[in-house]
């Protein structure tokens, strides 16, 4: 039953209404809140209207593009944020209190890591731990561990939150790749495949731009998989994580004048979850899997 609180007007507050309002308070618009929650914006609006009726307060100023909170809305948002933290702490406690290895564990990781490193090894993990149900999400954004989006996350930047357990588990290296046909052409004739311009800040994209020397980027994609398919088709030269490019039989690694960048890979969770045997088993699995393909020490001795 979702109704949790009794107001002085005898109406019950539905926790789901509070959850939708909290998402709106964090994101600032109905559409953004809907994306975060995986529902349509009309559902968010309906839930917030129900909460306003239950509280007999106007929480939101409804405008065409944004939904700023009223003074009462801001006050309620602060209270709801504290409730969310408590609910998430309860969820983590219940998961960590399970003594056995039977559990569902959610992992988030960069898409290439999730798809090409973790997922292929899941069969071995399943054989060793048949009672642990893994869910793996390949995401480009930072999963909100404090909102239950994942139990364990692999991140490419060291988290700054002081209450998280953080472990460096690998180093992602990059290389320049193309088909054998392109590799045989003069370097001055190469054309390149890159990220969408909105992602020009990425380490590997900055490195790629440093190699252009006046040569053009002729194709852009918002993710590494689109770039990989374009490179396979012979469209141009692409910068890829070494674990991905080195495994492509259709692509050759190209020499570069500027050393490739490296990005640390961090395993992140909450300390209380580590008490769970299932969480520890998954953490060890992820650490070993990524460490094998992205070792901290360069196997070629370059670092």
The pLDDT tens digits of the residues spanning 268-297 come to 987 777 778 888 899 999 999 999 999 988
Of the three residues 47, 71, 95, the one that is the final residue of a domain is: 95
Average confidence score pLDDT of the chain: 85
More confident residue, 134 or 61: 134
Considering only the C-alpha atoms of the chain, give the largest distance between any 2 of them, rounded to a whole number of Å: 78
Rounded to an integer, what distance in angstroms lies between the CA atom of residue 158 and that of residue 162?
Answer: 11
**Residues 271, 236 share a domain:** no
pLDDT band for 6, please (50, 70, 90 cuts).
very low
Is the pLDDT reported for residue 92 higher than 70?
Answer: no
19 in a structural domain: yes
The average pLDDT across 66-79 equals 84
Predicted local confidence at residue 219, as pLDDT: 97
Domain identity same for 197 and 250: yes
Please tell me whether residues 157 and 287 are part of one structural domain. Answer: yes
Q: Does residue 91 sit in the same domain as residue 12?
A: yes
| Residue 244: per-residue pLDDT | 94
Domain co-membership, 83 together with 61? yes
Integer Rg of the chain from CA: 24
User: Domain end: 54, 76, 95, which one?
Assistant: 95
Burial of 82 (0-12, 13-18, 19+ CB in 10 A): exposed
Distance (Å, rounded) from C-alpha 78 to C-alpha 87?
A: 15
What is the rounded CA–CA span in Å between residue 45 and residue 265? 39
- Residue 277 within a domain: yes
Do 177 and 30 sit in the same domain of this protein?
no
- Range in 95-104, 148-157, 219-228, 291-300 the model is least confident about: 95-104
In a domain, 177, yes or no: yes
pLDDT confidence band for 15 (50 / 70 / 90): confident
Question: Domain total for the chain?
Answer: 3
246 and 284: one domain? no
Give me the mean pLDDT over the 113-123 stretch. Answer: 94
Judgement on whether residues 73 and 109 belong to the same structural domain of the protein = no
Selected residue with higher pLDDT from 276 and 88: 276
Last residue in a domain, options 75, 95, 115: 95
- CATH of residue 220: 3.40.190.10
Average confidence (pLDDT) over 160-181: 90
Residues 119 and 139 in one domain: yes
CATH number at residue 48: 1.10.10.10
Contact yes or no for 134/105 (Cβ under 8 A): yes
Percent of the chain with pLDDT over 90: 42
- Where residue 13 falls among pLDDT bands split at 50, 70, 90? confident
If asked whether residues 83 and 193 sit together in one domain, one would say no
* Residue 190 contacts residue 237 (beta carbons within 8 Å): yes
Q: Confidence class of residue 299 from pLDDT cuts 50, 70 and 90?
A: low
DSSP code, position 197: G
Higher pLDDT, 248 or 11: 248
Q: What is the pTM of this model?
A: 0.66
How far apart are the two ends of the chain, measured CA to CA in Å? 56
27's tokens? 């994101």
Per-residue model confidence (pLDDT) at position 187: 94
Give yes or no: residues 119 and 176 share one domain. no
Q: Is the pLDDT of residue 69 over 90?
A: no
In a domain, 288, yes or no: yes
More confident residue, 143 or 256: 256
Q: Does residue 272 share a domain with residue 150?
A: yes
- Which structural domain, as residue segments, surrounds residue 235? 172-262
Quick check: is 298 in a domain?
A: no
Residue 184 has pLDDT above 90, yes or no: yes
Residue 181 buriedness (CB in 10 A; 0-12 / 13-18 / 19+): exposed
2 has pLDDT over 80: no
Look at residue 28 in the predicted model and tell me its pLDDT: 83
């Amino acid at each position: 039953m979702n109704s949790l609180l009794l107001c002085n007007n005898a109406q019950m507050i539905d926790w789901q209404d509070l959850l939708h309002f909290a998402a709106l308070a964090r994101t600032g618009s109905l559409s953004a809140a809907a994306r975060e929650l995986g529902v349509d914006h009309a559902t968010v609006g309906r839930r917030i209207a129900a909460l306003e009726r239950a509280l007999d307060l106007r929480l939101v100023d409804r405008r065409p593009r944004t939904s700023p909170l009223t003074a009462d809305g801001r006050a309620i948002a602060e209270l709801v944020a504290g409730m969310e933290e408590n609910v998430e702490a309860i969820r983590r406690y219940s998961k960590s209190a399970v003594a056995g290895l039977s559990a569902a564990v959610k992992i988030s990781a960069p898409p290439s890591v999730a798809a090409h490193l973790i997922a292929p090894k899941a069969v071995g993990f399943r054989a060793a731990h048949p009672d642990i149900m893994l869910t793996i999400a390949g995401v480009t954004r930072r999963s909100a561990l404090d909102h239950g989006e994942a139990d364990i996350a692999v991140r490419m930047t060291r988290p700054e939150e002081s209450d998280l357990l953080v472990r460096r588990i690998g180093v992602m290296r990059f290389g320049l790749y193309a088909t054998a046909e392109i590799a045989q052409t003069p370097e001055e004739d190469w054309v390149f495949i890159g990220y969408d311009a909105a992602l020009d800040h990425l380490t590997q994209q900055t490195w790629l731009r440093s190699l252009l020397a006046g040569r053009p980027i002729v194709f852009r994609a918002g993710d590494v998989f689109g770039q990989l398919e374009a490179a396979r088709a012979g469209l141009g030269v692409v910068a890829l994580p070494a674990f991905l490019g080195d495994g492509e039989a259709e692509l050759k690694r190209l020499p570069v004048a500027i050393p490739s960048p490296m990005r640390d890979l961090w395993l992140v969770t909450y300390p209380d979850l580590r008490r769970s045997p299932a969480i520890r088993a998954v953490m060890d699995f992820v650490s070993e899997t990524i460490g094998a393909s992205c070792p901290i020490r360069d196997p070629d001795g370059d670092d």
